[in-house]
Amino acid sequence: MKILVPVKRVVDYNVKVRVKKDETDVELDNVKMSMNPFDEIAVEEALRLKEKGVASEIIAVSIGLPEVQETIRNALAMGADSGIFVNCTSKLEPLSVAKILTSICNKIKPDLVIMGKQAIDDDMNATGQMLSAMLNWGQATFASKLEIQDKKIKVSREIDGGIENIEVNLPAVVTTDLRLNEPRYASLPNIMKAKRKPIDEIKVEDLNIDIEPRLEILKVEEPKSREAGIMVKSVDEMIEKLKNEAKVI
Protein backbone atom coordinates (compact mmCIF):
# COMPACT_ATOMS: atom_id res chain seq x y z
CA MET A 1 0.00 0.00 0.00
CA LYS A 2 1.22 3.42 -0.99
CA ILE A 3 0.60 6.51 1.19
CA LEU A 4 0.96 10.10 0.03
CA VAL A 5 1.57 12.72 2.73
CA PRO A 6 1.37 16.40 1.73
CA VAL A 7 3.54 18.61 3.97
CA LYS A 8 3.51 22.41 4.26
CA ARG A 9 6.23 24.77 5.37
CA VAL A 10 4.74 27.29 7.81
CA VAL A 11 5.78 29.78 10.47
CA ASP A 12 6.80 27.77 13.55
CA TYR A 13 3.99 27.45 16.09
CA ASN A 14 6.08 29.11 18.81
CA VAL A 15 6.46 32.34 16.84
CA LYS A 16 4.07 35.17 17.58
CA VAL A 17 3.58 36.65 14.14
CA ARG A 18 3.42 40.39 13.54
CA VAL A 19 1.54 42.25 10.87
CA LYS A 20 3.69 44.23 8.41
CA LYS A 21 3.55 48.01 8.68
CA ASP A 22 2.07 48.33 5.19
CA GLU A 23 -0.69 45.84 6.11
CA THR A 24 -0.09 43.62 3.08
CA ASP A 25 0.86 40.47 4.98
CA VAL A 26 2.50 39.27 8.16
CA GLU A 27 6.24 39.61 8.68
CA LEU A 28 7.94 36.50 7.28
CA ASP A 29 11.55 37.67 6.99
CA ASN A 30 13.90 36.03 9.49
CA VAL A 31 11.10 34.08 11.09
CA LYS A 32 11.59 30.44 12.08
CA MET A 33 9.81 28.08 9.69
CA SER A 34 8.83 24.47 10.38
CA MET A 35 6.64 21.69 9.10
CA ASN A 36 2.97 22.33 9.89
CA PRO A 37 2.39 20.39 13.17
CA PHE A 38 -0.66 18.57 11.81
CA ASP A 39 1.45 17.37 8.86
CA GLU A 40 4.05 15.96 11.26
CA ILE A 41 1.21 13.96 12.80
CA ALA A 42 0.28 12.78 9.28
CA VAL A 43 3.85 11.67 8.52
CA GLU A 44 4.04 9.88 11.87
CA GLU A 45 0.79 7.99 11.23
CA ALA A 46 2.01 6.88 7.81
CA LEU A 47 5.26 5.65 9.37
CA ARG A 48 3.35 3.66 11.99
CA LEU A 49 1.30 2.01 9.24
CA LYS A 50 4.52 1.06 7.50
CA GLU A 51 6.03 -0.28 10.72
CA LYS A 52 2.94 -2.44 11.21
CA GLY A 53 3.45 -3.86 7.74
CA VAL A 54 0.25 -2.29 6.41
CA ALA A 55 1.93 0.28 4.18
CA SER A 56 4.89 -0.35 1.93
CA GLU A 57 5.78 3.07 0.61
CA ILE A 58 5.45 6.65 1.92
CA ILE A 59 5.84 9.64 -0.37
CA ALA A 60 5.97 13.19 0.99
CA VAL A 61 4.93 16.04 -1.30
CA SER A 62 5.28 19.79 -0.89
CA ILE A 63 4.42 22.65 -3.21
CA GLY A 64 6.07 26.07 -3.34
CA LEU A 65 9.46 27.78 -3.51
CA PRO A 66 12.69 25.72 -3.39
CA GLU A 67 12.77 26.16 0.43
CA VAL A 68 9.89 23.72 0.81
CA GLN A 69 12.36 20.95 -0.05
CA GLU A 70 13.64 21.38 3.53
CA THR A 71 10.22 20.35 4.74
CA ILE A 72 10.27 17.33 2.45
CA ARG A 73 13.73 16.46 3.85
CA ASN A 74 12.24 16.62 7.37
CA ALA A 75 9.61 14.09 6.35
CA LEU A 76 12.32 11.91 4.79
CA ALA A 77 14.38 12.18 7.97
CA MET A 78 11.37 11.05 10.00
CA GLY A 79 11.23 8.00 7.72
CA ALA A 80 9.30 8.71 4.50
CA ASP A 81 10.78 6.92 1.47
CA SER A 82 10.81 9.60 -1.20
CA GLY A 83 9.62 13.10 -1.98
CA ILE A 84 7.91 15.10 -4.67
CA PHE A 85 8.69 18.80 -4.93
CA VAL A 86 6.26 20.84 -6.99
CA ASN A 87 8.12 23.99 -7.93
CA CYS A 88 5.69 26.92 -7.87
CA THR A 89 6.48 30.58 -7.31
CA SER A 90 2.94 31.94 -7.19
CA LYS A 91 0.86 32.28 -4.06
CA LEU A 92 -1.35 29.26 -3.58
CA GLU A 93 -4.69 28.81 -1.93
CA PRO A 94 -6.23 25.47 -0.84
CA LEU A 95 -8.28 25.15 -4.05
CA SER A 96 -5.11 25.24 -6.19
CA VAL A 97 -3.22 22.96 -3.81
CA ALA A 98 -6.07 20.44 -4.00
CA LYS A 99 -5.95 20.60 -7.80
CA ILE A 100 -2.20 20.03 -7.87
CA LEU A 101 -2.51 17.14 -5.42
CA THR A 102 -5.33 15.66 -7.51
CA SER A 103 -3.05 15.63 -10.52
CA ILE A 104 -0.27 13.97 -8.50
CA CYS A 105 -2.69 11.35 -7.12
CA ASN A 106 -3.84 10.55 -10.63
CA LYS A 107 -0.24 10.00 -11.60
CA ILE A 108 1.15 8.02 -8.66
CA LYS A 109 -2.11 6.38 -7.54
CA PRO A 110 -1.73 6.23 -3.74
CA ASP A 111 -4.13 4.04 -1.74
CA LEU A 112 -4.35 6.62 1.01
CA VAL A 113 -3.60 10.30 1.48
CA ILE A 114 -2.97 11.38 5.08
CA MET A 115 -2.70 15.14 5.62
CA GLY A 116 -3.10 17.79 8.33
CA LYS A 117 -6.61 19.02 9.11
CA GLN A 118 -5.43 22.61 8.89
CA ALA A 119 -2.29 24.63 8.35
CA ILE A 120 -1.52 26.91 11.26
CA ASP A 121 -0.76 29.89 8.99
CA ASP A 122 -3.94 30.48 6.99
CA ASP A 123 -6.11 28.29 9.28
CA MET A 124 -8.25 27.22 6.31
CA ASN A 125 -9.15 23.62 7.21
CA ALA A 126 -10.06 22.89 3.59
CA THR A 127 -7.48 21.16 1.40
CA GLY A 128 -8.17 17.55 2.42
CA GLN A 129 -11.92 17.86 1.89
CA MET A 130 -11.42 19.59 -1.48
CA LEU A 131 -8.95 16.95 -2.61
CA SER A 132 -11.25 14.06 -1.77
CA ALA A 133 -14.12 15.82 -3.58
CA MET A 134 -12.01 16.28 -6.70
CA LEU A 135 -10.86 12.66 -6.66
CA ASN A 136 -14.37 11.47 -5.81
CA TRP A 137 -12.92 9.54 -2.86
CA GLY A 138 -14.33 9.20 0.63
CA GLN A 139 -13.04 11.47 3.38
CA ALA A 140 -12.34 11.08 7.08
CA THR A 141 -11.54 14.44 8.64
CA PHE A 142 -10.22 15.25 12.16
CA ALA A 143 -8.95 11.71 12.78
CA SER A 144 -7.91 10.70 16.31
CA LYS A 145 -7.56 6.98 15.59
CA LEU A 146 -7.35 4.87 12.47
CA GLU A 147 -7.17 1.23 11.56
CA ILE A 148 -6.90 -0.40 8.14
CA GLN A 149 -8.68 -3.65 7.34
CA ASP A 150 -8.71 -5.10 3.83
CA LYS A 151 -9.70 -2.31 1.49
CA LYS A 152 -11.29 -0.17 4.19
CA ILE A 153 -10.15 2.28 6.82
CA LYS A 154 -11.93 2.73 10.15
CA VAL A 155 -11.52 6.20 11.55
CA SER A 156 -12.47 7.83 14.86
CA ARG A 157 -13.19 11.50 14.23
CA GLU A 158 -13.13 14.34 16.76
CA ILE A 159 -16.46 16.15 16.39
CA ASP A 160 -18.17 18.92 18.38
CA GLY A 161 -20.09 16.46 20.57
CA GLY A 162 -17.35 13.86 21.11
CA ILE A 163 -16.15 11.08 18.82
CA GLU A 164 -17.70 9.66 15.64
CA ASN A 165 -16.60 6.36 14.08
CA ILE A 166 -16.85 5.86 10.33
CA GLU A 167 -15.59 3.40 7.77
CA VAL A 168 -14.27 4.59 4.41
CA ASN A 169 -13.37 2.55 1.34
CA LEU A 170 -9.84 2.97 0.03
CA PRO A 171 -8.53 4.99 -1.65
CA ALA A 172 -9.45 7.76 0.76
CA VAL A 173 -8.28 11.05 2.25
CA VAL A 174 -7.73 11.28 6.02
CA THR A 175 -7.04 14.55 7.83
CA THR A 176 -5.29 14.42 11.18
CA ASP A 177 -6.31 15.89 14.52
CA LEU A 178 -4.03 16.48 17.50
CA ARG A 179 -4.75 13.26 19.36
CA LEU A 180 -3.88 10.87 16.52
CA ASN A 181 -0.29 10.39 17.72
CA GLU A 182 2.82 12.13 19.00
CA PRO A 183 5.27 12.60 16.14
CA ARG A 184 8.81 11.31 16.58
CA TYR A 185 11.96 13.38 16.29
CA ALA A 186 14.29 12.51 13.46
CA SER A 187 17.49 10.89 14.73
CA LEU A 188 20.87 12.12 13.50
CA PRO A 189 21.61 8.97 11.46
CA ASN A 190 18.19 9.27 9.84
CA ILE A 191 18.80 12.92 9.03
CA MET A 192 22.01 11.82 7.29
CA LYS A 193 20.24 9.00 5.47
CA ALA A 194 17.50 11.38 4.32
CA LYS A 195 20.05 13.37 2.33
CA ARG A 196 20.38 10.45 -0.06
CA LYS A 197 16.67 9.77 -0.49
CA PRO A 198 15.23 10.85 -3.86
CA ILE A 199 13.12 13.98 -4.37
CA ASP A 200 11.41 14.27 -7.77
CA GLU A 201 10.89 17.78 -9.06
CA ILE A 202 7.82 18.79 -11.03
CA LYS A 203 7.23 22.26 -12.46
CA VAL A 204 3.73 23.47 -11.76
CA GLU A 205 3.48 24.85 -15.31
CA ASP A 206 3.82 21.31 -16.65
CA LEU A 207 0.64 20.27 -14.86
CA ASN A 208 -1.56 22.70 -16.81
CA ILE A 209 -3.71 23.65 -13.88
CA ASP A 210 -5.47 26.94 -13.25
CA ILE A 211 -3.91 28.19 -10.00
CA GLU A 212 -5.05 31.80 -10.23
CA PRO A 213 -6.19 32.76 -6.69
CA ARG A 214 -9.93 33.29 -6.24
CA LEU A 215 -9.51 35.35 -3.09
CA GLU A 216 -7.66 38.62 -3.36
CA ILE A 217 -6.13 39.70 -0.06
CA LEU A 218 -6.89 43.42 0.23
CA LYS A 219 -5.43 43.88 3.66
CA VAL A 220 -3.88 42.09 6.64
CA GLU A 221 -4.34 43.96 9.91
CA GLU A 222 -3.80 43.56 13.64
CA PRO A 223 -6.75 42.19 15.58
CA LYS A 224 -8.40 44.39 18.17
CA SER A 225 -6.22 44.28 21.23
CA ARG A 226 -7.53 43.88 24.75
CA GLU A 227 -6.80 46.51 27.34
CA ALA A 228 -4.60 45.22 30.13
CA GLY A 229 -6.54 44.39 33.28
CA ILE A 230 -5.56 44.29 36.92
CA MET A 231 -4.27 41.72 39.40
CA VAL A 232 -6.48 41.15 42.43
CA LYS A 233 -5.08 40.09 45.79
CA SER A 234 -7.70 37.64 46.98
CA VAL A 235 -10.69 35.53 46.06
CA ASP A 236 -12.90 38.01 47.93
CA GLU A 237 -11.64 40.87 45.81
CA MET A 238 -12.15 38.77 42.65
CA ILE A 239 -15.77 38.04 43.54
CA GLU A 240 -16.37 41.67 44.44
CA LYS A 241 -15.01 42.83 41.05
CA LEU A 242 -17.02 40.26 39.11
CA LYS A 243 -20.21 41.24 40.91
CA ASN A 244 -19.94 45.00 41.16
CA GLU A 245 -17.52 46.16 38.47
CA ALA A 246 -17.82 43.67 35.61
CA LYS A 247 -21.36 42.65 36.64
CA VAL A 248 -21.02 39.20 35.09
CA ILE A 249 -22.10 37.04 38.02
Partner 1 sequence: MKTLVVVDHNNNKLEKSTLNTIKAALKLGNVDLLVLSDSCRDICNELIHIKNINNIFTNENDAFKNQLAEDSANFIAENFKDYTNILFSNTSNGKNIAPRLAGLLDTMIIPDVIEIVDKQTFKRPIYAGNAIATCKSKNKINIITIRSTAFEEAEIGNENVGKIQEIGSLTTNNQTKYLNSELTKSERPELTSADIVVSGGRGLGSAENFQILEKLADKLGAAMGASRAAVDAGYVPNDWQVGQTGKIVAPNLYIAVGISGAIQHLAGMKDSKVIIGINKDDEAPIFSISDYGLAEDLFKAVPEMESKLN
Find the distance separating the first CA and the last CA of the chain, reported in whole Å.
Answer: 57
Q: Report the residue number, 13 or 185, with the smaller CB distance to ligand FAD.
A: 13
Interactions with ligand FAD, residue window 111-150 (CB under 6 A): 120
CA distances from 67 to 57, 74, 129, 223 (A): 24, 12, 26, 29
Among residues 88, 141, 115, 122, the alpha carbon closest in space to that of 215 is found at: 122
- State yes or no: residue 239 binds partner 1 (CB under 8 A): yes
Interactions with partner 1, residue window 102-161 (CB under 8 A): 117-118, 120-134, 137-142, 144, 154, 157-161
Q: Please state the closest distance from residue 38 (CB atom) to ligand FAD, in A.
A: 6
Q: Which of 22, 89, 149, 230 is in the footprint of partner 1 by CB under 8 A?
A: 230
- State yes or no: residue 90 binds partner 1 (CB under 8 A): no
Q: Please state the closest distance from residue 139 (CB atom) to ligand FAD, in A.
A: 21
Q: Which of 13, 52, 106, 192 is in the footprint of ligand FAD by CB under 6 A?
A: 13
| Largest interatomic CA distance in the chain | 69
Q: Please state the closest distance from residue 235 (CB atom) to ligand FAD, in A.
A: 13
- State yes or no: residue 217 binds partner 1 (CB under 8 A): yes
| Residue 178, C-beta contacts closer than 8 angstroms, at least 6 positions apart | 38, 41, 144
The span from the CA of 212 to the CA of 154, in Å, is 36
Interactions with ligand FAD, residue window 193-232 (CB under 6 A): none
Amino acid letter at 48?
A: R
The span from the CA of 59 to the CA of 37, in Å, is 18
User: Is 85 in contact with 200 (CB distance < 8 Å)?
Assistant: yes
Q: Which of 70, 167, 201, 206 is in the footprint of partner 1 by CB under 8 A?
A: 167
Q: Please state the closest distance from residue 40 (CB atom) to ligand FAD, in A.
A: 9
The span from the CA of 164 to the CA of 170, in Å, is 19
- State yes or no: residue 164 binds partner 1 (CB under 8 A): yes
Residue 131 interacting entry, from partner 1, ligand FAD, none, C-beta within 5 to 8 Å by type: partner 1
CA distances from 76 to 64, 163, 198 (A): 17, 32, 9
Q: Please state the closest distance from residue 36 (CB atom) to ligand FAD, in A.
A: 8
SS3 12: coil
- State yes or no: residue 37 binds ligand FAD (CB under 6 A): yes
Binding site for ligand FAD (CB under 6 A): 13, 37, 120
